[in-house]
């Protein structure tokens, strides 16, 4: 078969699928999206006309818009998200499972006729730089122009992606409809063995932008295991030292735990004067693959930021704030009297309209912006955007960092002894829940590698896959754990956080280069307070003790809980991890 014939047959498969979906959903029209400015302008005009978008202040926020979602459709719905594998154990206890045939039948009944009176949009996209061998393509079929506009920002969407699909033939199929936005008719189904996603009844980003969590993590983690790479819920940042050397760090934190803040960190003034610089590759997802030299190389499969608005301010994240001054879609934020977007933590102004579009009553004690309100913006709008973000080969990773919200026990930073210990550190990660998912906030739960809602297969197999990278010739990154959220007895945070987290990153890089000391403890290498540059940071005696100390009794209890947690995965749990936990507690 000639290349031309192969390309034609690859497109035939896509055309056939689109035809089958159209026959099921009965749209009024079909639009193949090319990602052009003209197409986007027409979609925006259409959404302004029907009220899907509201134009914001053109002087302060040019080409920026507000979208208000249905009040019952404001976050990921983990309890309605399923992984549909033939063998239930392949999905694992970390996922809700449904038999593929039953799931398809259920979704078919929901999709039947659901696009009557609507347009079916065909959205070809590439996750990762368009010419990178690490990238993977997908096609999302949706009836939401809001989804199309967001996918254009979040992925490399349109003609170039379609051309790559024509060449390669392989793509992830994503079918989405907002349906009636009925919470009782809302499901997100993943079929990893068929590289397919079906999502019905939600317009919220994590449920509807199928390139994001659904493809880039749940389906990609399955692909990565089969193909020998890692798809992770991690930011990627570059740190350039005064000598002009750049190290890259990948870091995993649960949603709304400061990932975007760290990815766009601005070093303290003293560091900036000395010549330290931070560059941003990505703030949410990282795909890593071993290179020819044995190091792990990473790309950010996304092209934009879908960031949490509340708490984003000039103090917490000036780079994020600068990124969203133009060409931004805001979702579920409040609005000021001069039609600017507003959220809690931004400044002292009082908005006039809340996230539901109703007059804001400051006395009601209700937040004006939804706690999980979002902004969607191209990564290229970020002042710290890395010139290497589009490198086809990716960037080499020097350190992997795990972290969560822990008010007690867990110190500011520690380094794992080796790769196996580091995988255990990631597997045992715990964090207090936030508003990014439905359910109670502030509850401690295990969230291995920040992947609990996103790993597309059995966690025990996932841990085994991580362990498999430790082999002859591998030059693996050092693994660290951080906790910016340690509190004192009075309930206040003990570490200033934000830009001062640079001080912890510097210690990590010195450890990578063999230039910093540490204290050996059962949980790993801890810095002494003097190992970290604390110039200008005033820490109380309590802060020094709790941020840099090791609580033997507390950790003994913690490791008991970790052991119980690992047992939940049964016989598939790798012995190396079980033995590592026992070794630490001996």
pLDDT digit string (tens) for the chain, length 586 residues: 445 555 667 899 999 999 999 999 999 999 999 999 999 999 999 999 999 999 999 999 999 999 999 999 998 888 999 999 999 999 999 999 999 999 999 999 999 999 999 999 999 999 999 999 999 999 999 999 999 999 999 999 999 999 999 999 999 999 999 999 999 999 999 999 999 999 999 999 989 999 999 999 999 999 999 999 999 999 999 999 999 999 999 999 987 688 999 999 999 999 999 999 999 999 999 999 999 999 999 999 999 999 999 999 999 899 999 999 999 999 999 999 999 999 999 999 999 999 999 999 999 989 999 999 999 999 999 999 999 999 999 999 999 999 999 999 999 999 999 999 999 999 999 887 665 566 666 678 899 999 999 999 999 999 999 999 999 999 999 999 999 999 999 999 999 999 999 999 999 999 999 999 999 999 999 999 999 999 999 999 999 999 999 999 999 999 999 999 999 999 999 999 999 999 998 7
Distances (CA, A) of 496 to 81, 259, 260, 388: 36, 16, 17, 30
Distance CA 232, CA 212 (A): 12
Distance CA 103, CA 191 (A): 9
Q: Given the residues 114, 257, 382, 455, select the one marked as catalytic.
A: 257
* Burial status of residue 105 (CB atoms within 10 A of its CB: 0-12, 13-18, 19 or more): exposed
Dihedrals phi, psi of 346, to nearest 5 degrees? -75, -55
DSSP 8-state secondary structure symbol assigned to residue 572:
G
DSSP 8-state secondary structure symbol assigned to residue 437:
B
* Burial status of residue 544 (CB atoms within 10 A of its CB: 0-12, 13-18, 19 or more): middle
Quote the Cα angle for 80-82-83, to 5°.
170
Contact, 186 vs 179, CB < 8 A?
yes
* Burial status of residue 240 (CB atoms within 10 A of its CB: 0-12, 13-18, 19 or more): middle
pLDDT at 445: 86
Domain assignments of the chain as residue spans, ordered by start? 3-52+80-228, 232-303+386-585, 305-381
| Residues 190-221: tens digit of each pLDDT | 999 999 999 999 999 989 999 999 999 999 99
Annotated binding site for Mn(2+): 213, 233, 284
Contact, 289 vs 296, CB < 8 A?
yes
Contact, 226 vs 285, CB < 8 A?
no
pLDDT at 366: 95
pLDDT at 1: 44
Annotated binding site: 76, 204-206, 213, 233, 255-261, 284, 372-374, 405, 498-501
DSSP 29-46: EEEE----HHHHHHHHHH
Annotated binding site for substrate: 76, 204-206, 255, 372-374
Place of tokens 């709008």: 381
Give a three-class secondary structure readout of 259-283: HHHHHCCCCCHHHHHHCCEEEEEEC
- For the record, the structure tokens of 569 come out as 């995965």
**DSSP reduced 3-state for 104:** helix
Pairing of strands 341-342, 334-335: antiparallel
Give a three-class secondary structure readout of 113-167: CCCCCCEEEEEEEEECCCCCCCCEEEEEEECCHHHHHHHHHHCEECHHHHHHHHH
Distance CA 480, CA 102 (A): 42
Dihedrals phi, psi of 475, to nearest 5 degrees? -120, 80
305-381 maps to which CATH number?
2.170.8.10
Fold of 3-52+80-228: Phosphoenolpyruvate Carboxykinase; domain 1 (3.40.449)
pLDDT at 444: 80
**Mean of all residue pLDDT scores within the chain:** 95
Distances (CA, A) of 79 to 95, 182, 329, 427, 437: 9, 15, 27, 22, 10
Exposure string for 209-224, b = 16+ CB within 10 A, e = fewer? bbbbbbbbbbbbbbbb
Distance CA 502, CA 498 (A): 8
Kindly report whether the global pTM for this prediction surpasses the value 0.85.
Answer: yes
Half-sphere exposure of 171 (CA within 13 A, CB side): 31
Distance CA 341, CA 307 (A): 14
pLDDT at 443: 74
- For the record, the structure tokens of 444 come out as 């401690």
Q: Which CATH architecture has domain 232-303+386-585?
A: Alpha-Beta Complex (3.90)
Q: Is the dihedral of CA 47, 163, 377, 185 positive or negative?
A: positive
Quote the Cα angle for 214-74-139, to 5°.
30
- Told to judge if 257 belongs to the known catalytic residues of this protein, a careful annotator would answer yes
């Amino acid at each position: 078969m000639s290349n031309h014939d192969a390309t034609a047959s690859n497109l035939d498969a896509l055309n056939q699928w689109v035809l089958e979906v159209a026959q099921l959903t009965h749209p009024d029209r079909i639009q193949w999206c090319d990602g052009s400015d003209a197409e986007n302008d027409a979609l925006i005009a259409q959404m302004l006309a029907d009220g899907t978008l509201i134009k914001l202040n053109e002087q302060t926020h040019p080409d920026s818009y507000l979208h208000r979602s249905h009040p019952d459709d404001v976050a990921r719905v983990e309890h309605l998200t399923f992984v549909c594998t033939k063998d239930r154990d392949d999905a694992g206890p970390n996922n809700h499972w449904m038999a593929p045939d039953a799931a398809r039948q259920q979704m078919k009944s929901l999709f039947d006729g659901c696009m009557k009176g609507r347009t079916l949009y065909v959205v070809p996209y590439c996750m990762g730089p368009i010419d990178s061998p690490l990238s993977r393509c997908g096609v999302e079929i949706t009836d939401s122009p809001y989804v199309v506009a967001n996918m254009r920002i979040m992925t490399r969407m349109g003609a170039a992606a379609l051309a790559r699909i024509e060449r390669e033939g392989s793509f992830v199929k994503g079918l989405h409809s907002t349906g009636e936005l009925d919470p009782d008719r809302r499901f997100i189904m993943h079929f990893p063995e068929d590289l397919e996603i079906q999502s019905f009844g939600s317009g919220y980003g994590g449920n509807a932008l199928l390139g994001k969590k659904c493809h880039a993590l749940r389906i990609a983690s399955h692909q990565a295991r089969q193909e020998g790479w890692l798809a992770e819920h991690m930011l990627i940042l570059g740190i350039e030292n005064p000598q002009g050397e750049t190290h890259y760090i990948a870091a995993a934190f649960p949603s709304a735990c400061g990932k975007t803040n760290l990815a766009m960190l601005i070093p303290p003034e003293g560091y900036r004067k000395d010549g330290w610089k931070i560059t941003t590759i990505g703030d949410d997802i990282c795909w890593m693959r071993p290179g020819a030299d044995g190091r792990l190389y990473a790309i950010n499969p996304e092209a934009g930021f879908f960031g949490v608005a509340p708490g984003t301010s000039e103090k917490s994240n000036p780079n994020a704030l600068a990124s969203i001054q133009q060409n931004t879609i805001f979702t579920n934020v409040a609005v000021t009297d001069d039609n600017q977007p507003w959220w809690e933590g931004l400044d002292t102004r009082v908005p006039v309209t809340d996230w539901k579009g109703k007059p804001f009553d400051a006395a009601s004690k209700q937040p004006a912006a939804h706690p999980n309100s979002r902004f969607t913006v191209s990564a290229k709008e970020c002042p710290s955007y890395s010139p290497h973000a589009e490198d086809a080969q990716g960037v080499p990773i020097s350190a992997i960092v795990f972290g969560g919200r822990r008010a007690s026990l867990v110190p500011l930073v520690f380094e794992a002894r080796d790769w196996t210990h580091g995988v255990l550190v990631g597997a045992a990660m715990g964090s207090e829940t936030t508003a990014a998912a439905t359910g109670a906030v502030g509850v401690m739960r295990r969230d291995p590698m920040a992947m609990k809602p996103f790993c597309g297969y059995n966690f025990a197999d996932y841990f085994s896959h991580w362990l498999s990278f430790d082999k002859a010739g591998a030059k693996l990154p050092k693994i660290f754990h951080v906790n910016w959220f340690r509190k004192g007895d009075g309930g206040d945070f003990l570490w200033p956080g934000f830009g001062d987290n640079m001080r912890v990153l510097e210690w990590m890089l010195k450890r990578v280069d063999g230039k910093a000391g540490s204290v050996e403890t059962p949980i790993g290498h801890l810095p002494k307070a003097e190992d970290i540059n604390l110039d200008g940071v005033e820490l109380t005696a309590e802060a020094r003790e709790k941020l840099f100390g090791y609580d033997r009794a507390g950790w003994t209890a913690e490791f008991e809980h970790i052991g119980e947690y690992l047992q939940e995965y049964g016989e598939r749990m790798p012995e190396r991890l079980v033995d590592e936990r026992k070794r630490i507690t001996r």
